[in-house]
Structure 1
Amino acid sequence: TWNTTFHKIITVVNIPNSSEPSSYRLFDNYPNPFNPVTNLEFGISELGFVSLKVYDILGKEVKTLVNEIKQAGNYKVQFDGSSFASGVYFYELRSGDFVARKRMVLLK
């Protein structure tokens, strides 16, 4: 008999850059469509509270990827959709007055 335990790991990486972003940006995820992992990248121009959340097609929050104070810089987060159904999802970045949403497609 085999007992197996699986753990999901979310990795947040500060991408070194010679200059800090001059504005807030949320980039298109890649790959898109994806199965089961995709990369979400964003840039923030100043220190502040940042949230990056994933929502299903009905607008229900299904995952919080970032929910903390971040320094100005560029960041990359991996989203693992292996426990989610195929379909359209939205990811939303909020920091200060900045809000941006993008669409991604999980195909299994």
Structure 2
Amino acid sequence: MELIIYNILGQKVRTLVNQPLEPGEHSVVWNGTDNKGRSVASGIYFYRMKAGNYSETQKMVLKK
């Protein structure tokens, strides 16, 4: 499974998950930092989840 956060410009901000997972329910918490550990600004972000042939992209708002 792959779970990646993108900014409004489509740039990759953070990879939260990039490994095989067993089928079932999972939860992930994003602490509002990028891949280098720097805090990102409040605003609109997108997350993309891919698992096998399934892919979904959703919008979210980060408020600090």
Q: Does TM-score exceed 0.5, indicating one fold?
A: yes
Question: Take 1:79 and 1:66, find their aligned partners in 2: how far apart are those partners?
Answer: 11
Identity fraction in percent = 42
The Cα shift of 1:107 comes to: 1.9
Deviant stretches of 4+, over 3 Å: none
1:89 to 36, 45, 61: 45
The Cα shift of 1:79 comes to: 0.5
Matched, 1:63 2:19: no
Q: Which amino acid aligns with 1:56?
A: N
More strand, by proportion? 1
Structure 1: stretches of 5+ with no match in the other structure:
1-49
Q: Which has the larger radius of gyration?
A: 1
Q: Which amino acid aligns with 2:28?
A: V
Q: How does 1:32-71 map to 2 (within 5 A)?
A: 50-71=1-22
Aligned pairs, number: 59
Structure 2: stretches of 5+ with no match in the other structure:
34-38
Which residue number corresponds to residue 55 of structure 2?
Answer: 99
For the aligned residues, what is the CA RMSD? 1.0
TM-score by length of 1: 0.52
TM-score by length of 2: 0.86
